[in-house]
Amino acid sequence: MDIIVLKKSSTQDEIDNIQKRLETKGLSVNISKGTERTIIGVIGDTSKIPEEEVDSVRAMSGVDEVMRIVKPYKLASRDFKKENTVIDVEGLKIGGNKIHIIAGPCAIEGRDILLTIAQKVKESGASFVRGGAFKPRTSPYTFQGMGEEGLQILLEAKKLTGMPIVTELMDPRDLTLMLKYTDIIQIGTRNMQNFRLLLEVGMVDKPVLLKRGLSATIKEWLMAAEYIMSRGNHKVILCERGVRTFETITRNTLDLSAVPVLKQLTHLPIIVDPSHAVGRWDLVKPMSLAAVAAGADGLLIEVHTKPEEACSDGEQSLKPDVFDDLVKSLRLVATAVGREI
């Protein structure tokens, strides 16, 4: 806690009590009595003061507002680490000058189809293959994913194309299995605040792609990253995938300003998933171009050879030739902003 604004009605006794409490925590105060209000500036290292203590001060008699200057996330913050974090995944560096594209279907649906999609996206310029084996579906009656059989197919796609794997983990009980197959663990939007899951992936040595929660603020998202990092795993990649708003024409609203905001607040790499953000294949290209222009370190794009037959998210999946055309345009924007694909 750094600045305490007192109520107009605050008394000298109340001010003394607050001062005493802060002094017991090893902090000192600078009391500034204005014509309207008294403000207490807290002097000392407040970064180690826990939130509970701040809440207790908020509840003290005479206190109107407590404002923190120190950020609640530490390991994820730019103040903690000035230079960008670059995450090396089998020689591919996420967060460096090169923009990486993660591409593939929403779900792994079968061997032939996945291998075909993987080869096509690789030829166009993707550097990671994706596909869900455990799907977080809104309805329990829809396709839930192929499980381990799907992971085996993904591994085959990796062997065939050389592209490392990104796939979603929903349940800590599947973590050991996941580690045998994936190169990056995806935490989906619905699990961004599944704190037990975050702590589990925080204890393994594997990069984590942390998607933004459906209605999460940037601060909540960074606190979720902090959960992972607090257990020792600092290899966190943030993924903006749109947030829920009043708008219904698009599936979600892509918060592109999150990219430059995060570049200021954190050293972690940030990628953008326009597919889940817009939910319509025809809008994926403009938003991908905009994401690269805004400074994204990578993109996650759903691609399917037969979107009309896809088990999930067909309406937002690009056909391989559309994906190919997109990557060509992306190269131009990347060059314009001093990056490469």
List the structure tokens of 95. Answer: 């967060």
Q: Please answer whether residues 194 and 180 qualify as being in contact, where contact means their C-beta atoms are separated by less than 8 angstroms.
A: no
Q: Which does 211 bind (CB under 5 to 8 A by kind): ligand PEP, Mn ion, none?
A: ligand PEP
Contact between 89 and Mn ion by CB under 5 A: the answer reads no
- The residue with its CB nearest to ligand PEP is 188
Contact between 241 and ligand PEP by CB under 6 A: the answer reads yes
Among 147, 140, 141, 186, CA closest to 164 = 186
Give CA–CA dist 36/119, Å, rounded.
69
Q: Which does 189 bind (CB under 5 to 8 A by kind): Mn ion, ligand PEP, none?
A: ligand PEP
Q: How far is CA 206 from CA 74, 166, 176, 198, 329, in A?
A: 21, 11, 12, 13, 32
Comparison of 22 and 303: residue with beta carbon closer to Mn ion = 303
Spatial CB neighbours of 331, under 8 Å, sequence gap ≥ 6 = 125, 340, 341
Contact between 106 and Mn ion by CB under 5 A: the answer reads yes
> 3-class DSSP state for residue 101?
strand
Contact between 170 and Mn ion by CB under 5 A: the answer reads no
Contact between 108 and ligand PEP by CB under 6 A: the answer reads no
Among 95, 132, 298, 307, binds ligand PEP (CB under 6 A): 132
Q: Min. distance of Cβ 92 from ligand PEP in angstroms?
A: 19
Among 40, 94, 103, 106, binds ligand PEP (CB under 6 A): 106
For β-strands 236-240 and 208-211, DSSP reports them as: parallel
Q: Min. distance of Cβ 252 from Mn ion in angstroms?
A: 12
Q: Min. distance of Cβ 257 from ligand PEP in angstroms?
A: 18
Among 211, 235, 285, 339, binds ligand PEP (CB under 6 A): 211
Q: Which does 296 bind (CB under 5 to 8 A by kind): ligand PEP, Mn ion, none?
A: none
Give CA–CA dist 341/298, Å, rounded.
9
Q: Which does 241 bind (CB under 5 to 8 A by kind): ligand PEP, Mn ion, none?
A: ligand PEP
Give CA–CA dist 148/154, Å, rounded.
10
For β-strands 184-187 and 208-211, DSSP reports them as: parallel
Q: Which does 298 bind (CB under 5 to 8 A by kind): ligand PEP, Mn ion, none?
A: none
Give CA–CA dist 261/179, Å, rounded.
32
Number of residues that bind ligand PEP (CB under 6 A): 8
Comparison of 106 and 311: residue with beta carbon closer to ligand PEP = 106
- Burial class, 261, CB count within 10 angstroms (exposed 0-12 / middle 13-18 / buried 19+): middle
For β-strands 165-168 and 28-33, DSSP reports them as: unpaired
List the structure tokens of 265. Answer: 């607040």
| Cα torsion 289, 290, 294, 296: sign | negative
Contact between 188 and ligand PEP by CB under 6 A: the answer reads yes
Contact between 313 and Mn ion by CB under 5 A: the answer reads yes
Contact between 285 and ligand PEP by CB under 6 A: the answer reads no
Question: Of 141-149, 170-178, 185-193, 306-314, which part binds Mn ion (CB under 5 A)?
Answer: 306-314
Give CA–CA dist 302/93, Å, rounded.
21
Among 276, 285, 304, 339, binds ligand PEP (CB under 6 A): 276
Contact between 238 and ligand PEP by CB under 6 A: the answer reads no
Which residues ranging from 76 to 95 are in contact with ligand PEP (CB under 6 A)? none
| Cα torsion 226, 228, 231, 235: sign | negative
Q: Min. distance of Cβ 71 from ligand PEP in angstroms?
A: 25
Residues in contact with ligand PEP by CB under 6 A are: 106, 132, 136, 188-189, 211, 241, 276
Binding site for Mn ion (CB under 5 A): 106, 313
